[in-house]
C-alpha cells in the first residue's frame, strides 16, 4: 500500500538548509566553465568518432561501424542535452542569485576600485607637482638664455606687463 498522496506531508522529504558556506561567484563560474569545456570535449570526441566510424569498408566491419556511429551519435546528443541543461541552470542561477553574496562581491569590487582611484589620484598629484617643477625650471632656463629678459622681470611680471 502506497503512502503517496495520503495526508499532508506524508511521503515528502524536506531538505534542511545547508550550513556550508556558499561558493563564491568566481568558484561557481569556474565550475560552470569546467562543465562546459568537458561537455564541449565530449561533443568533439563523439563527432570525431562518428566521422571515423562512417568510413566505408567490407560488410563485416560495416555493421560494427554502423553500431559505433550510433553510439557516438547518442553520446553527441547527450552532450548537447547536457549543454542545454547547463544553459538553463545558468539562467536560473542568474535570476535567483544570492543577493547577499552579490552585494558582498559588489562591495569588494567597489572597495578595490576606490583603492585604485586613490592611488591614481596620488600619482596624478605627484605627476602634477613634477610637471610644475620641471616647467618652472624650463621657463627659468629659457628666460635666462634670452638676452633682453631678466629672470627677476619674469618672476615679478603680471600678465598685463608681458
Using one digit for the tens of pLDDT, what is the confidence trace for 102-149?
Answer: 677 778 889 999 999 999 999 999 989 988 999 898 888 888 887 765
Higher-pLDDT residue of 155, 18 = 155
Residue spans of the domains in the chain: they are: 25-97, 111-162
Buried b / exposed e along 103-137 (16+ C-beta atoms within 10 A):
eeeeeeeeeeeeeeeeeeeeeeeeeeeeeeeeeee
| CA terminus-to-terminus distance, the chain | 108
Q: Cβ–Cβ contacts within 10 Å for residue 36, how many?
A: 15
Does 1 have pLDDT greater than 50?
no
Tell me what pLDDT residue 8 has: 44
Across the chain, mean pLDDT equals 76
Which grid coordinates belong to 117?
582611484
Cell of 122: 596620488
- C-alpha span between 103 and 54 (Å, rounded): 53
75, 42 contact by CB (below 8 A): yes
How much is the pLDDT for 26?
A: 74
Spatial distance between the Cα atoms of 76 and 46, rounded to a whole number of angstroms: 5
pLDDT of 117 reads 92
pLDDT of res. 12: 44
User: CA 50 → CA 43, 69, 73, 89, 159, distances in Å?
Assistant: 10, 5, 6, 29, 84
What confidence score (pLDDT) does residue 141 get?
86
What's residue 160's pLDDT?
Answer: 52
The mean pLDDT value for 63-78 works out to: 85
- The pLDDT value given to residue 96: 72
Using a pLDDT cut of 90, give the percent of the chain over it.
18
Other CB atoms within 10 A of residue 154 CB: 16
Amino acid at each position: 500500500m502506497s503512502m503517496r498522496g495520503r495526508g499532508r506531508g506524508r511521503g515528502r522529504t524536506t531538505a534542511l538548509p545547508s550550513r556550508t558556506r556558499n561558493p563564491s561567484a568566481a568558484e561557481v563560474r569556474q565550475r560552470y566553465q569546467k562543465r562546459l569545456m568537458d561537455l564541449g570535449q565530449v561533443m568533439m570526441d563523439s563527432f570525431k568518432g562518428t566521422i571515423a566510424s562512417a568510413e566505408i569498408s567490407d560488410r563485416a566491419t560495416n555493421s560494427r561501424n554502423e553500431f559505433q556511429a550510433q553510439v557516438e551519435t547518442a553520446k553527441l546528443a547527450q552532450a548537447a542535452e547536457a549543454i542545454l541543461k547547463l544553459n538553463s541552470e545558468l539562467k536560473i542561477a542568474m535570476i535567483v542569485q544570492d543577493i547577499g553574496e552579490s552585494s558582498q562581491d559588489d562591495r569588494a569590487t567597489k572597495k578595490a576600485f576606490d583603492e585604485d582611484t586613490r592611488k591614481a589620484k596620488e600619482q596624478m598629484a605627484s605627476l602634477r607637482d613634477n610637471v610644475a617643477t620641471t616647467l618652472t625650471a624650463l621657463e627659468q632656463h629659457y628666460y635666462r638664455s634670452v638676452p633682453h629678459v631678466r629672470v627677476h622681470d619674469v618672476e615679478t611680471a603680471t600678465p598685463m606687463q608681458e
